[in-house]
Every structure is written in C-alpha cells, then in structure tokens.
Structure 1
C-alpha cells in the first residue's frame, strides 16, 4: 500500500511530500481548500496514468531507462477526475515553466513490496496544444513487482434510472466525473456474479453446499457481507435480476425489505420490491462506498467525503464497517471528511491534518480541537463573534443555553449581549483544552464551562460556586462549572411548574413522578435539597421513554422553564447565572481564585 506521495506543481501543492499509513483507515481533515481532495485526486491521477501507460506501452514503460516517448492523450480521454480543462491540473494553471522541460508536473508514489523493500514510481505530465503527455520520470520497478490497486470515489451523485453494463474505462470515467451513482449497479452486478460463480464451484458434484463451506462463504465473500450488512443497518437486501449481455440492455437491481427473525433475515411479504433509484442518497452513498471497500481488486480506496449525505449514526456505522474491512483485509483507506462527529471519536494517530502546504498525522489527541476550529463545520462561524465579544459559554447542547436564558429572564437578569454559546459534549479536561486552543485565536477570551454532573461524585462539585474540583491547574479566565444535581433537567422537576406548562392538575404530575419513585420535597429550590432530588435522572424523567413528562404531558423542558415562577427557581441556577453575568461584565480573577 502507498506510504508516501510527493507532488510537484499539482494543483495547490507546488512541492509537497505527504507520508501515509500503509494500511488501515486514515481520516483526512482540514478546512475547505486545505488539500484533502487534492491528495486523493493526485493518487487517482497517478493510478490512471500508470494504468494507461501499462496498457498502451506495456509494463516495460514503468521500468528504469525505458527508451520510448511519452504517451499522448486528448482531453476527452482523461477520466480519473473532473477538471474544467487540463491546465487545472497545474499549480496556478501554469503548465509551461520557462527554462525547464515540458514535463513540469509530477506525482510520485512510494510503497513497500512483500519483502519490505521500498518501491517508487514517479509519473510526469506535460501539456502541449491541449494534449496531455505522460511518462515515467523515476522508478525502481522490475517486471515482477506488484503495484498498488487504487479506486477513487468522489461524493456520491449521478444515479440514473437505466444503467448499461460498462467497461472498466467507462466506469473510471463516470467515477472521475463525480458520477459514481451511474455505475453502482455495475459494481453490485460484478459482486453478485462473482458470488454465484463461487457458489456453483462449491456445489459442484453435490446436491447442496457443505455447511462448513457455506459458513466460510458467508463470513468472507464480499456479496454475502454486503447483503448481511445492508440488512442489518437498513433492513434491506439487494435483488439482482439475471443479466445476459447478449440480450439485456440494462442492469436491474431492486431493494427488498427484510426483518431479522432471530435466525435469518426474512422478507416482508407485503412489501413490493423497488429499484435502487427509489432509495435515499444516504443509502446509495453507503452502498457505493461499501461495495468498493469490499472489492478484492481494490487495495487502496480513496473516499472524498463519503459521510456527506449520512446522518451522524450512519456516519459512525460506516466508519465501523470500514474499520472491520481494513482490519480483516489489510486494505488502505484514505477518507476525506468534514464531520466533527467522526473526527472526535477517531484515534488521533489516524487523523491526517492538512495545514499550509502539507499534511501530518496528529501526535496528540488535544490537537483535534484546534483542527475543528479550522474546519468548515458548525463551529467555524462562531470564531468571528468570539473575537468580538471575547466571552463564551460552553454547554453540552444549545438547549441548555436556551433554558438558562429563559430562567435568567424569570430572575429579571439581563442575558449577556454577544455571549457565544459553544456546544461541546466533552468533559472538563477536554473543555480546558478547547479553551486553550481558542485562546490562541482570541487572547482575551473568557469562558464558563457548564456540564451535567452525571456520575461524577457530588463531593467533586463545590457547593457554593459549582466549581469542578476534579480538575487541577485551573486556567485564568476559565470557569469550570458542574451542576450539583445530576442533570440540568433536575432543576425543572417542580410539579406545579410542570402542571402549569401542561395545563394539568398538579396531582397528575405528582402521581407520574411517584411512578419513577421520586417525591419532590417542599425545599426543591434549596441547595440542601434531599439527595434523592440531587441524584434523580432528570433527563430520562423529562424526555425519555413512554412514561416521561414529554410523552405523557406533551411538554418540553423549555416550556417548563417558561412556566416557573421566581421563587421556584433553584439556588444553583441563580448562582450560575450571576457568575456568567459577572464574567461577561468584568475580568476574571487569577486562576488560583477560580
């Protein structure tokens, strides 16, 4: 697999060498136009040029001292990636460099062979009169060397209602132009037909396939893995109609709804099969990525934002599925992504961060935080307001901040103007790192971090200030605060307020809480409230399950907050809001006073 890529005048990289993990899943991360897609495209162009040289001039054209001339291609024969014109392959569109030979663009890939010996192939490109010329500029290959096999998949697009069977060149052209959807049935058909041939081989001379052979097939065969995975995640299996190229014009693939009956996936009898095109873009994106990843012919897979159409849960499942594939096959997958959800949980050593004129794998987990700041994500638009206000509230979700704002109004407190709300689900230590990274961008930054106590020991929260005592070495201008009650929703569990919001008698609310073994005491607002009130699972009680307040009374936490009266608001809420207002109104005290 590819261990490094050296680029000379390719797109945004004038002279760059990027080291890569030779196997496993790498996440390419960085802001827009940082070079993630450029690296993937460079490898795709290298693969295309290698392939056409070998096909047109033989393997000898990839070996040292090949005497032949470069191979010429017209622009319509160039298909690995979509470009407005071939000039766009060159840095700053300058394909002719004064005083240098015409082959001014170069892409070199290096990899290790089966004996651990480094192999290299540098391909150079020239452009003359709108015609592209390709040659091997430097190489140490011999005839017997095995080369990496590469597949490039841009963001999913282009599915059509009728798909012909295509040659390899036609498929490569479609995918290179960003129309992977236009070949998805071809990919599925190839995998299905290979499975049918293997099943016929295993059954040869027998009435049925041996159980041991069938179990092995289901565990290792790409089509079997694809079918079981799509059924498990989407409740769908694929039905490929027989195809004979002599008299069938189009490939037909339909989706069948299935359910797991405890032993196998069973087809839903009242569901009519429908064409792939009827499925959502997320399903089709998932299918195209997974099909290529399972292909035994692909050793290095280049994925450009395969998560673009996927819900966060599907993003996570796709990453898990890819990890399983690379773990069992040793494949190399390079995945460009803007998903902070994926990157947050990825091992830092697998994140290839693009910055300036290059890219390097992260050495420490906290480096991911500074990476997020530069991403084209939900967080990036917050930086400019933060530079202006210099005041930030870090919460687990935007809804927490909305609750606080409503309760501040109930207390006749003015919510700080310009306060930037930053959702971040990490713990206090991770939030401290976030603060330090942001402080590098905004030196005068002041922040209050607020999170649920969850399972943190109550003794780790200061009773008077709500300070998180579990974190040592406090930072100046950063207030790390934790609710004394388990969840912020615990501060809303006052039956009279819930009854007003739901327009129900208070007794109905009291009875529902009794079902959850909770009796709300009269001193609900006190910091010395009973421990049962402090440790209640307020999030579940208010929002989760068939017998939650949300399910029974049809009210959200924000509605309860709006229904609360001044004297019903707990003391912890008042303490926290006062600290937030003071922080935004004046400088914070030194760290040892935090």
Structure 2
C-alpha cells in the first residue's frame, strides 16, 4: 500500500504532499486540483510502466497507456515540459513496507520532454521491490475511473489487450460486458455476485452468451427471479457494478475515482460507499476519491482520511469531515476557499436563504461589499452550525471578521441576550434584528413614510388595516416561530420555562407591530401599495431610517 504520495507540477496539482490511508477522500473547491491529482498519479505510474517495458529512457506519447491530453507537454503545471531539468513534473511514492528492515521503500518518477518530437523522457529512481510492483506493465497497479460512466447498448467480444488498454485509459465503461465475460471465463463470476449481493441483496449477474453463436455479448441482471438486460439497470447499480468488475478482473492495488457520485441519488451514493468499503476490506484495494457529495463524506467519516486541496496544495487542516459536508450542504465550499485565500475580510453568515435583503441593508449602512461575503447558513435552527462555520473561518483565516445574523423571530429581550452571548463567546459579532427579521426594517413606518411621501400616521393606519385583515395568519406565524424558539437551545434543559405564546402575543386586533412577521407584512404592503397610493413604489429603496444603529456599531468594530 502507498503510505505517502508527493505529486509536483502536474496540471492544477502544484504540490500534493500527504500520507495516505486505505480509503482517502480529496475535497476542495472547483479547479483546486482534485482531478489533476488522480490523473497525475495514474499518468506517472503508467508512463513508467511503458518506459520500463520498452527498456528505453524516452518513449513516444502515442505508446502511453493513459494520456489525459492530445499533447503531453501541456500537462505540466504553469509552463510546458522542456527537455532539460528545469521544467519537469515529479511523482514520489513511499510504501508502508520495509524491504531492508529499516527504511520504507520509496521511488520517484520524473517527467520531462524528450529531444525528439512527441517523445517523453522518464526517469525513475531508485530501483526496489516497491517500484517494480507499482510500475509493472503486465499487472496494472492503478485503475482510474472518471465520473459517472454509462454503457453502450451493444458490445462485441474484444481481445484482452483492447480491454486492458481501455481500462488503463479510463474508458472501461465502454467494455463492461467484455469485462464481465472475462470475469466469468476466469471463474470469478460467483465471487462478483457475492460482492454484489452484499450491496444489492437477491441480485446477480448472468451471461447467457455463447461466442460461437451470438454476435453481441448478452448480460442480464436477475433480481428476485426477474431478469432484464444490463443496459436497463439504474445508474446507481451500474456504477457500483462497473467499479467492482474493474477491481475483480484487473486486481489493481490502487483505485482512483473521480466524482463517482455524480448524478447519483443520495441513497445510491450511500450504497456506493458500502461498495467501496467492501472492496477495500475484501480485495485489499487502496482507494482515493474526489467528491462533492456531502452524503459520501458523512458516510465515510470514520472510515477514511480526508484531504483538503486548495490551489493545488494540501491544506493542512484538522477540521472534521463534518465541516466539509456542511460547506457542501450550504453550497459554500468554493466561496470559503476564497475566504481562506484572503479575498474577503468580513463574512456575514445569514440565516436567510436569499441574500438580497441582507445585501441591501449592509450596502445602505456603508459596508464595503467588495470585501464582505454574505453566506446563507439556512435557518435559525442552524445557529450552532453558523457558530461552527465561524470557528472554522477563524482557524483558516484569522484576520477575517465574522458576523452571524439571526432574526429576532419574536424572541424576548432575555432570549436575545442569551443568543448574543452564545455567538459572542466564539469571537464572533452577533447581529440579531430589532424587529422579527431583516424585512421588518423595510416595513418600518418611518421608512415607508419617507419613500412613499406621506405622513407616518397614515402609514401606521395602513399597516394596522393590513394586520387586521390578516390577523389569523399573523397569529399562526407568531405561534410557529415561538414553537421553534421553545425547542431551540434556549430551552433545551427546561421547555416549561418558555413564556406562553398567548401571553406574548396578546388578544388585541390588530396585534402589536412587533408581533408581525416582517416578510409577511412586506409582501402584503407590496401587494397593496398601488391600490392605496395610486402608484407603484419600490419599498426597498434607501432612506435615512435604514441607518441601523446596531449595524453602525458593527461597522465601527470592523474598521477598528
């Protein structure tokens, strides 16, 4: 097994330097170099296998078993390969075995341009048993599976050489039936069906194919006594069967999977994880996966080593896989990479899924939106998740300030104080809205009087009429929000301590303005403003009354 890998200057991988376990998961933003790592490992191993088989120091790029570009010279990071030592790429692998009883076997493969056109110069040092195992030309050490792989409707029987070449080049999905046929010829079909049964009970593969009579290879799937052609199987089943079949036929020691979860339903992603664990355990296969799936991250939490890649380098972070899955869940993995790189000096974590209102309010309060990132953390029930994100930012980008926005949602002053205390205790700035939510600032009578051009008393009468006409719905929303508060961390130890909803809401109609949900009232006001005032008016435009004292205080903190 590979204990340590170091890949330098291959495509977007600048310096991938890390220990490996049996199962390894690479996560990172788009263009961080994840796929480059898998391709670089596979390319270097197979390039040396070809060179070693040829007995020469240079080989033609057309002789390579795997080439992720029509021109190999562009595969080097930054600038193309040259035929001198300056522009090279390098893969160094270290084994977990000690052939001399003291030092682990290790070797390096260095790639540069050959003197002749389209020739590749490959140097591999030193020679040891581990190098001979990894760079074998007959027994491929690694298999690379790029993304979700469909299969053709028909296949004719091909030679083993064709199948081996396709597998080395990442195109084995085009020959899945051939692979299954050779598995059967080797007497391993029962073993494959045993593996499949552990993931898909009562399911097996059958090959009613006679090469003497049939033009195309026939493969059927039998599930609970019902048979259907393999091409009619679901994508989850096909993806897992392909991976199992590759490993069983070619017996690679290293399986490289590039986003195998792509387009798979979450349930099938979890089945895929079970299949990978099975291969690692039963067939002793080492696995490196690139993924954007939070479901796979969560399922592999205790089973895998997690490697965070940013800008082509390993980010030495001790954060748990849970944090990666949270970032994926809120769609912020790419943006948080920019935070770590120093693009933003302030992060505003908001519970609102849509950031339009928060952005307007911050802009009206003179926040610099060029260095302020607004990130939704999806709901007040996730305040603790927001705090974890804040802790993560502080560790990864110590100079970045973090604000956590929490809607007041009809909390009492004492409850707001406890929320502020909890957030502040993590070196984070709390922003709990004065009204029920951010929208409440835009439904404030002074603000509306200014943008509409009428008296404040006229606005108050209008809003009271809207509240009276929608009293039942307003009361229901108040009740639901208070129930969320009752079941939050505020009353986790004693829910009976939560104040009565009826006592807080009161019995008057219309209810007090602080009991009305801002989002709801703003929607009603927008729908009635033309009827009331005879013209369409943008209620979200700026006014002096949107200079919020609490935000001005936060702004001074940021500028201090």
For the Cα contact (< 8 Å) 1:3–1:111, is it kept in 2?
yes
Aligned residue for 1:226? 196
Aligned residue for 1:478? 430
Post-superposition offset of 1:78: 2.2
Post-superposition offset of 1:304: 0.8
Describe how 1:433-452 pairs up with structure 2 within 5 A.
433-438=388-393, 440=397, 443=400, 445-449=402-406
Post-superposition offset of 1:284: 2.9
Matched, 1:267 2:225: yes
Aligned residue for 1:502? none
User: How many pairs are equivalent?
Assistant: 452
Structure 2 CA distance for aligned equivalents of residues 306 and 182 of structure 1: 16
Aligned residue for 1:174? 166
Aligned residue for 2:10? 10
Matched, 1:113 2:68: no
Structure 2 CA distance for aligned equivalents of residues 305 and 524 of structure 1: 42
Aligned residue for 1:20? 19
Aligned residue for 1:547? none
Aligned residue for 2:313? 358
- The partner residue of 1:301 within 252, 255, 260 is 255
Matched, 1:189 2:201: no
Aligned residue for 1:252? 218
Structure 2 CA distance for aligned equivalents of residues 525 and 35 of structure 1: 48
Post-superposition offset of 1:182: 0.4
For the Cα contact (< 8 Å) 1:304–1:335, is it kept in 2?
yes
For the Cα contact (< 8 Å) 2:330–2:376, is it kept in 1?
no
Aligned residue for 2:469? none
Structure 2 CA distance for aligned equivalents of residues 437 and 42 of structure 1: 30
Matched, 1:70 2:57: yes
Aligned residue for 1:203? none
Matched, 1:141 2:95: no
Aligned residue for 1:122? 108
Q: What are the Cα deviations for residues 234-289 of structure 1, in whole angstroms up to 9, with x where unaligned?
A: xxx35432345555443222334x3xxxxxxx224xxx62342x345444333323
From the superposition, tell whether residues 275 and 247 of structure 1 become closer, same or farther in structure 2 (CA, over 3 Å). Answer: same
For the Cα contact (< 8 Å) 2:207–2:218, is it kept in 1?
yes
Post-superposition offset of 1:92: 3.9
Matched, 1:36 2:19: no
Structure 2 CA distance for aligned equivalents of residues 322 and 444 of structure 1: 40
- The partner residue of 1:84 within 60, 65, 70 is 70
For the Cα contact (< 8 Å) 2:92–2:107, is it kept in 1?
yes
Structure 2 CA distance for aligned equivalents of residues 343 and 368 of structure 1: 10
Structure 1 CA distance for aligned equivalents of residues 206 and 254 of structure 2: 27
- The partner residue of 1:52 within 50, 53, 62 is 50
- Which runs of no fewer than 5 residues in structure 1 stay unpaired? 58-68, 200-220, 259-265, 409-413, 453-457, 482-505, 507-521, 537-564
Look up the SS of the partner of 1:255 in the other structure.
strand
Structure 1 CA distance for aligned equivalents of residues 485 and 8 of structure 2: 65
Structure 1 CA distance for aligned equivalents of residues 414 and 274 of structure 2: 40
Structure 2 CA distance for aligned equivalents of residues 56 and 71 of structure 1: 9
Look up the SS of the partner of 2:271 in the other structure.
helix
For the Cα contact (< 8 Å) 2:256–2:287, is it kept in 1?
yes
From the superposition, tell whether residues 293 and 371 of structure 1 become closer, same or farther in structure 2 (CA, over 3 Å). Answer: farther
Post-superposition offset of 1:28: 0.9
Aligned residue for 1:342? 296
Describe how 1:142-161 pairs up with structure 2 within 5 A.
142=129, 146-147=133-134, 149-157=141-149, 159-161=151-153
Instruction: Please report the TM-score for the alignment, with normalisation by the length of structure 2.
Output: 0.63
Structure 1 CA distance for aligned equivalents of residues 250 and 164 of structure 2: 17
Structure 1 CA distance for aligned equivalents of residues 118 and 485 of structure 2: 76
Post-superposition offset of 1:333: 0.6
Post-superposition offset of 1:153: 0.9
Structure 2 CA distance for aligned equivalents of residues 590 and 577 of structure 1: 31
Post-superposition offset of 1:434: 1.1
Q: What are the Cα deviations for residues 69-109 of structure 1, in whole angstroms up to 9, with x where unaligned?
A: 32523x333232431312223334533255x49x9444332
For the Cα contact (< 8 Å) 1:340–1:377, is it kept in 2?
no
Matched, 1:331 2:299: no
The root-mean-square deviation of aligned C-alpha atoms, in Å, is 5.3
For the Cα contact (< 8 Å) 1:285–1:309, is it kept in 2?
no
Look up the SS of the partner of 1:587 in the other structure.
helix
From the superposition, tell whether residues 532 and 182 of structure 1 become closer, same or farther in structure 2 (CA, over 3 Å). Answer: closer
Structure 1 CA distance for aligned equivalents of residues 480 and 152 of structure 2: 63
Look up the SS of the partner of 1:18 in the other structure.
strand
Q: What are the Cα deviations for residues 14-61 of structure 1, in whole angstroms up to 9, with x where unaligned?
A: 6x362231x32111112222221122112212331343345444xxxx
Look up the SS of the partner of 2:419 in the other structure.
coil
Aligned residue for 2:273? 319
Post-superposition offset of 1:164: 3.1
Structure 1 CA distance for aligned equivalents of residues 225 and 170 of structure 2: 34
From the superposition, tell whether residues 441 and 245 of structure 1 become closer, same or farther in structure 2 (CA, over 3 Å). Answer: farther
Aligned residue for 2:531? none
Structure 2 CA distance for aligned equivalents of residues 48 and 131 of structure 1: 17
From the superposition, tell whether residues 361 and 297 of structure 1 become closer, same or farther in structure 2 (CA, over 3 Å). Answer: farther
Look up the SS of the partner of 2:94 in the other structure.
strand
Look up the SS of the partner of 1:43 in the other structure.
helix
Post-superposition offset of 1:343: 3.7
Instruction: Please report the TM-score for the alignment, with normalisation by the length of structure 1.
Output: 0.60
For the Cα contact (< 8 Å) 1:107–1:123, is it kept in 2?
yes
